[in-house]
């Protein structure tokens, strides 16, 4: 069977704004387009990957050009952020009867948890009542493990919101869906729109409203797009708010954990810190605060060389079937957990491939459902769990990355590092220090001595500005960028990316199913229906589709290497068994696919 190569539009686009052109991948929303800057990322060395990621991330802060797109720093966007900050202030004035709920799916839900906890800590520090809560699709188990199916359920979304806000008279609901696509969030927004006396909905996402998902949601009359249209109408009178700047396509197409997650963090932190401050919310204040993240971004990428070395170390570990462990403290540890958990749906990774551990475990997190350790090995997240379950098996082939700052217990860090070093010399640190503080400098030099012989250790010292809280947030932002780069690069080296597409994604919900089907069409040149058929066969590992398969839950089918299986079946006409054994002979997915594409 012949491989019909589609004309590659990307070839004709080369500058940084090209994705904005109306005829660039016109059927796709911005969040699903492929980024012209990264089309060769799968073959690039670590240093070039860093350059591509930097250019891609920099797109977040580009000013509005002559196109349809609102940008992060657009005037309208800043004004909306000011209005939302005022709404948060109203909640703070009446904490007894009011609530802020942050919610989302996958990384968006994890960040909702991350920020709700951080905002509550900050509120308590400022003598306010903690008024923030979170809802994540799939419950707390989704904080650290891959649970994509609940994302498809709008009724569940509405129910969870109702439950968490029971009895409150005023609720500001912030729903995050980077792609303006998750039915779970659509259900929550719809619930708010039906109860306007109590709920004010805020939607955060990164596509223009007309690109919101129009696909019907089974068993329900809503679409994400229909909800957004209703919100747009109400936004005119400030009864609803839309925060949806375009950031440019992700470095790995559709991987919204990257820019989508970063911008979610920036936007919500800017809004909430403006509302917590005792000074008036101003346009310039908001704008400057956003710009401080741009500085943190530049600063982080000024350490590209060290980060590239970390990426290579992590890549070597994954390539030989070994492990990468993030050992973190405080919120930096939680960012490690978040980064690790997204590798499963994005790269078809095993939960053991990249794992996060945080000092203090669940006690440190304070999540709704408490200690989840008994749910299985994926939920063992403390340093003690690492010492008991992972350390004894560590070798030089594994990579360990410590994530901490001068405000953590540096002696404890050094103690743990010593224990790790007895098992592996492949230990690294991303350490944040603050200048000007003598005690901190002393501690920093102590830890630099401790880690003097480590491979690569970016001693991050962002040009921190603003309040105590905003310094912590910039540090977190910098860590997020670093972790995203390391885990993405490591999986590129493992062959989990083809051009700039995730080719081994898990197909565990309707969005991922559509993404996979689209990729198959692009790579095979076959029709939509042929690709969907091949995809379903690969998901359920059958050569013939039966009637009842169409009604099965996608979550029930956690088959591995689904897209490669479907593609090779499409191109060769071989049976599932034959293709499976072909793929087993060539475990590097990208190479298996390339061989197949060349020979077809
Ligand atoms: O379906 C899983 C997933 O794609 C995650 O990878 C992602 O973090 C999550 O969905 C959220 O997507 P969105 O923010 O666009 O709703």
Instruction: Kindly report, as residue ranges, where domains of CATH 1.10.8.1080 are found in the chain.
Output: 503-598
Cβ atoms 205, 178 nearer than 8 A: yes
Three-state secondary structure of 80-135: HHHHHHHHHHHHHHCCCCEEEEEEECHHHHHHHHHHHHHHHHHHHHCCCCCCEEEE
Q: Is 339 in the pocket of ligand 1 (CB under 6 A)?
A: no
Distance CA 190, CA 123 (A): 29
Asked whether residue 134 carries a pLDDT value surpassing 80, the answer given is yes
CA of 348 to the centre of ligand 1 (A): 14
Give Cα 435 distance to the centre of its chain.
30
- What's the CATH fold of domain 503-598? Helicase, Ruva Protein; domain 3 (1.10.8)
Of the given ranges (13-17, 183-187, 494-498, 513-517), which has the lowest mean pLDDT? 13-17
Distance CA 556, CA 265 (A): 32
* pLDDT higher at 443 or 308: 308
CA of 151 to the centre of ligand 1 (A): 8
Where helices occur in 400-527 by DSSP H, the ranges are 410-421, 438-450, 468-493, 510-524
Asked whether residue 264 carries a pLDDT value surpassing 80, the answer given is yes
pLDDT band at 405 (very low <50, low <70, confident <90, very high): confident
Distance CA 125, CA 515 (A): 43
**What pLDDT is attached to residue 457?**
52
Nearest CA to 158 out of 130, 134, 199, 186 is that of 186
Give Cα 443 distance to the centre of its chain.
32
CA of 105 to the centre of ligand 1 (A): 6
- What's the CATH fold of domain 75-244? Rossmann fold (3.40.50)
Cβ atoms 69, 267 nearer than 8 A: no
CA of 107 to the centre of ligand 1 (A): 6
Q: Is 257 in the pocket of ligand 1 (CB under 6 A)?
A: yes
As a whole-number percent, the residues of the chain with pLDDT over 70 amount to 90
Please name the residue whose Cα sits nearest to atom 5 of ligand 1. 106
CA of 506 to the centre of ligand 1 (A): 12
Q: Is 264 in the pocket of ligand 1 (CB under 6 A)?
A: no
Q: Is 107 in the pocket of ligand 1 (CB under 6 A)?
A: yes
Asked whether residue 143 carries a pLDDT value surpassing 90, the answer given is yes
Cβ atoms 224, 181 nearer than 8 A: yes
Instruction: Kindly report, as residue ranges, where domains of CATH 3.40.50.12620 are found in the chain.
Output: 299-497
Highest mean pLDDT (candidates 225-239, 454-468, 561-575): 225-239
**What pLDDT is attached to residue 139?**
98
Please name the residue whose Cα sits nearest to atom 3 of ligand 1. 106
Span 565-583, mean pLDDT?
A: 89
Please name the residue whose Cα sits nearest to atom 10 of ligand 1. 106
Cβ atoms 358, 364 nearer than 8 A: yes
Ligand 1: residue of 30, 102, 105 to mutate (most ligand atoms within 8 A of CB) is 105
Please name the residue whose Cα sits nearest to atom 9 of ligand 1. 106
Task: Return the percent helix, strand and coil in the chain, to nearest 5.
Answer: 55, 10, 35
Q: Any residues with CB less than 8 A from the CB of 329 and at least 6 apart, and which? A: 358, 359, 403, 404, 405, 408, 409, 412, 413
**What pLDDT is attached to residue 5?**
31
Instruction: Kindly report, as residue ranges, where domains of CATH 3.40.50.10490 are found in the chain.
Output: 75-244
- 3-state secondary structure at position 460: strand
Q: Measure the CA angle with vertex 49, ends 47 and 50; round to 5°.
A: 65
Q: Rg of the Cα trace of the chain? A: 23
In whole angstroms, how far apart are CA 533 and each of 37, 502, 529, 544, 546? 32, 20, 6, 9, 11
Q: What pTM was estimated for this model as a whole? A: 0.93
Q: Is 152 in the pocket of ligand 1 (CB under 6 A)?
A: no
Ligand 1: residue of 109, 112, 151 to mutate (most ligand atoms within 8 A of CB) is 151
Q: Is 511 in the pocket of ligand 1 (CB under 6 A)?
A: yes
Question: Which atom of ligand 1 lies at the shortest distance from residue 182's CA?
Answer: 16
Q: Max Cα separation, the chain?
A: 70
Nearest CA to 268 out of 486, 117, 68 is that of 117
**What pLDDT is attached to residue 64?**
73
Span 102-124, mean pLDDT?
A: 97
Question: Which atom of ligand 1 lies at the shortest distance from residue 509's CA?
Answer: 1
CATH of region 299-497: 3.40.50.12620
Query: pLDDT per residue over 172-199, tens digit each?
Result: 999 999 999 999 999 999 999 999 999 9
Three-state secondary structure of 139-191: CCHHHHCCCCHHHHCHHHHHHHHHHHCCCCCEEEEEEECCCCCCHHHHHHHHH
**What pLDDT is attached to residue 469?**
77
Q: Any residues with CB less than 8 A from the CB of 484 and at least 6 apart, and which? A: 53, 257, 258, 261, 262, 339
CA of 246 to the centre of ligand 1 (A): 16
CA of 144 to the centre of ligand 1 (A): 14
Q: Is 60 in the pocket of ligand 1 (CB under 6 A)?
A: no
**What pLDDT is attached to residue 169?**
98
Q: Measure the CA angle with vertex 582, ends 576 and 587; round to 5°.
A: 115
Distance CA 215, CA 471 (A): 41
Distance CA 376, CA 138 (A): 16
Question: Which atom of ligand 1 lies at the shortest distance from residue 110's CA?
Answer: 8
Question: Which atom of ligand 1 lies at the shortest distance from residue 176's CA?
Answer: 14
């Amino acid at each position: 069977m012949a491989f019909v190569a589609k004309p590659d539009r990307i070839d004709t686009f080369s500058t940084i704004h090209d994705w904005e052109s109306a005829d660039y991948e016109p059927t796709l929303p911005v969040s699903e387009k492929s980024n012209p800057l990264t089309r060769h990322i799968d073959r690039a060395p670590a240093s070039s990957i860093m350059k591509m990621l930097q250019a891609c991330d920099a797109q977040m802060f580009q000013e509005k050009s002559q196109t349809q797109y609102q940008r992060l720093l657009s005037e309208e966007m800043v004004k909306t952020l000011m209005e939302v900050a005022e709404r948060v202030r109203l909640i703070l004035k009446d904490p007894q009867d009011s609530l802020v709920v942050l919610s989302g799916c996958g990384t968006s839900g994890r960040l909702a948890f991350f920020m709700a906890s951080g905002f509550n800590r900050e509120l308590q520090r400022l003598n306010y009542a903690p008024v923030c809560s979170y809802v994540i699709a799939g419950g707390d188990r989704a904080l650290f493990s891959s649970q994509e199916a609940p994302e498809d359920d709008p009724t569940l979304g509405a129910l969870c919101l109702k439950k968490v806000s029971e009895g409150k008279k005023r609720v500001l609901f912030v729903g995050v869906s980077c792609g303006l696509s998750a039915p779970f969030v659509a259900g929550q927004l719809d619930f708010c729109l039906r109860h306007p006396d109590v709920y004010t909905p805020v939607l955060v996402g990164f596509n223009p409203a007309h690109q919101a998902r129009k696909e019907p949601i089974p068993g329900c009359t809503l679409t994400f797009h229909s909800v957004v249209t209703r919100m747009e109408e109400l936004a005119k009178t400030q009864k609803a708010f839309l925060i949806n700047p375009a950031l440019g396509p992700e470095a790995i197409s559709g991987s919204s954990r990257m820019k989508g997650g970063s911008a979610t963090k920036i936007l919500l932190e800017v809004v909430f810190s403006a509302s917590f401050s005792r000074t008036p919310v101003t346009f310039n204040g908001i704008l400057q605060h956003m710009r401080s993240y741009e500085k943190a971004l530049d600063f982080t990428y000024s350490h590209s060389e060290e980060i590239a070395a970390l990426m290579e170390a992590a890549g070597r570990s994954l390539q030989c079937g070994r492990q990468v462990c993030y050992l973190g403290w405080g919120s930096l540890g939680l960012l490690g957990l978040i980064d690790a958990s997204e590798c499963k749906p994005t790269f078809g990774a095993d939960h053991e491939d990249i794992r996060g551990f945080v000092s203090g475990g669940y006690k440190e997190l304070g999540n709704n459902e408490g200690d989840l350790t008994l749910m299985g090995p994926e939920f063992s997240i403390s340093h003690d769990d690492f010492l008991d379950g992972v350390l004894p098996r560590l070798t030089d082939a594994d990579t360990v990355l410590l994530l901490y700052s001068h405000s953590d217990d540096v002696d404890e860090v050094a103690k743990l590092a010593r224990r790790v070093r007895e098992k592996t010399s492949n230990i690294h640190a991303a350490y944040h220090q603050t200048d000007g503080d003598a005690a901190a400098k002393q501690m920093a030099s102590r830890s630099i001595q401790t880690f003097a012989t480590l491979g690569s250790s970016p001693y991050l010292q962002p040009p921190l500005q603003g309040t105590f809280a905003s310094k912590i947030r910039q540090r977190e932002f910098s860590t997020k960028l670093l972790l995203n780069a390391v885990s993405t690069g490591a999986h590129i080296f493992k062959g989990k990316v083809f051009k700039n597409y995730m080719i081994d994604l898990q197909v565990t919900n309707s969005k991922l199913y559509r993404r996979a089907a689209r990729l198959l069409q692009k790579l095979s040149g076959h029709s939509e229906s042929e690709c969907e058929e091949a995809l379903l066969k690969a998901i359920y590992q059958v050569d013939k589709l039966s009637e009842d398969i169409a009604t099965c839950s996608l979550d029930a089918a956690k088959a591995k290497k689904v897209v490669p299986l479907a593609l090779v079946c499409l191109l060769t006409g071989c049976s599932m068994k034959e293709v499976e054994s072909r793929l087993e002979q060539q475990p590097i997915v990208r190479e298996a696919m390339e061989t197949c594409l060349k020979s077809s």
